[in-house]
Structure 1
Amino acid sequence: MIYLYAKSIHIIFVICWMAGLFYIVRLFVYHAEAKLKKAAEYKVLHEQFMVMEKRLWWVITTPSMYLTIMAGIVMLLVNPALLQTPWMHVKLGFVLALIIYHFKCQQIIKKLSLEKNQWTSSQLRLWNEVSTIILFAIVFIVVLKSAVNWIYGLAGLVSLAIILMIAIKMYKRYRQRKQENQES
């Protein structure tokens, strides 16, 4: 029964963690684009984005990551046989990648707050898709639990990444055309 409670908590906080990761990078995009505004407007936006990013990060996203990890550890302690399965090793590798992604986002928050951000809004939009791809990989690995199926899943992930990049470029062109039409 402990395993099922831990699994439920794990799933709930994975959802919260991912929501936080998705939204924080969206805030980064808006924060970076605010730099294009007039100085007075940027100052107000910068202060507001710093408050939003800080609250999202420290109240939702980071606690959710730790609760996800703790529930995952409990599941592994209750059912250590999971560590003998190859799919779990692959999953844990992607979880490590997601944790690294998490802390890279934390670095971006700091750079944005210090106004030392080097990322463009387009680069941040692409960065936002990294967590999506990692999430897809983890879900497919957990559901399929097979190395052979995982290879197909990897091919699907690469295809998804390509589709996402094309969609982002198309959306960027659409926004530019829309902006040009409004200026005309």
Structure 2
Amino acid sequence: MYPYLKALHIIFVVTWFAGLFYMPRLFIYATEAGGKAEAETRILRAQFAIMMKRLWYGITWPSAILTLVLGPTVMLQGNWDKILLQPEGKWLLIKLVFVLFLYLYHLSIHRIFKQQLQGIYRYRSQQLRIWNEVATIFLIAIVMLAVVKQGVSLIWGLLGLVLFILILMSAIRLYKRVRG
């Protein structure tokens, strides 16, 4: 039973991340639609609202909930809870902290989603592009911890993550310059 639960957990993590990656893109498109003619803005934003609702309520939220149910189930079935507070379980504790922050990120996306449905566009497309990359940072940190486990040095892991974030931010700046 354990391998099936673990497989389902991974599947719902993947579909959850798909939603977390695509929602901010839809926010960006809806925000940038505000620069079009009024009729075009109205049509585009209405279409993006439909797409956002379907993605958010049809895929992202259900996947986040199933991930939240299956994660602890896999942890208990695999006896991972036994090492959680042991030195060899440090990787799991750190991973769970990243997962907690990922759920907070999810809630922040939900807040932006609700605002945009109400016609409130508080963030510029550049800010949303940066916020869009936060999920990538969480994905890398969580997967590295889950796969490499205690083989990852905390200091080298954090340095690698910081380096990745710097490269990502540089790429976003470069994109902004090229795009104009």
- What TM-score does the superposition give when structure 1 sets the normalisation length? 0.91
Distance 1:170 1:150, change over 3 A: same
Whole-angstrom distance in 2 between the partners of 1:157 and 1:135:
11
* Pair 1:133 & 2:137 matched: yes
Q: Which runs of 5+ in 1 are unaligned?
A: 177-184
Counterpart in 1 of 2:75? Answer: 76
Counterpart in 2 of 1:59? Answer: 58
SS in 1 for 2:40: helix
Q: Name the Cα RMSD after superposition.
A: 1.3
- Select between 61-70 and 77-86 the one with higher mean Cα deviation: 77-86
Q: What is the CA-CA distance between 1:147 and the residue it aligns to?
A: 7.6
Counterpart in 1 of 2:159? Answer: 155
Q: Which runs of 5+ in 2 are unaligned?
A: none
Q: What is the CA-CA distance between 1:34 and the residue it aligns to?
A: 0.6
Counterpart in 1 of 2:36? Answer: 37
Counterpart in 2 of 1:122? Answer: 126
Whole-angstrom distance in 1 between the partners of 2:47 and 2:152:
48
Q: Following TM superposition, where does structure 1 have runs of at least 4 consecutive aligned residues deviating by more than 2 angstroms?
A: none
Contact 2:145 2:152 in 1 (8 A): no
SS in 1 for 2:133: helix
Residue type of the alignment partner of 1:19: A
- Select between 74-83 and 114-123 the one with higher mean Cα deviation: 74-83
Deviations 1:136-168 (A, max 9, x none): 111111122128523212111111111111111
Deviations 1:7-26 (A, max 9, x none): 10111111111111000111
Contact 2:31 2:125 in 1 (8 A): yes
Contact 1:33 1:121 in 2 (8 A): yes
Whole-angstrom distance in 1 between the partners of 2:44 and 2:93:
43
Whole-angstrom distance in 2 between the partners of 1:51 and 1:121:
19
Whole-angstrom distance in 2 between the partners of 1:147 and 1:54:
41
Deviations 1:99-138 (A, max 9, x none): 0111110110111111112110000000011111011111
- What TM-score does the superposition give when structure 2 sets the normalisation length? 0.93
Contact 2:30 2:44 in 1 (8 A): yes
Give the number of aligned pairs. Answer: 175
Whole-angstrom distance in 2 between the partners of 1:110 and 1:68:
22
Contact 1:76 1:82 in 2 (8 A): no
SS in 2 for 1:145: helix
Residue type of the alignment partner of 1:34: A
Name the % identity.
Answer: 48
Contact 1:16 1:60 in 2 (8 A): yes
Contact 1:76 1:83 in 2 (8 A): no
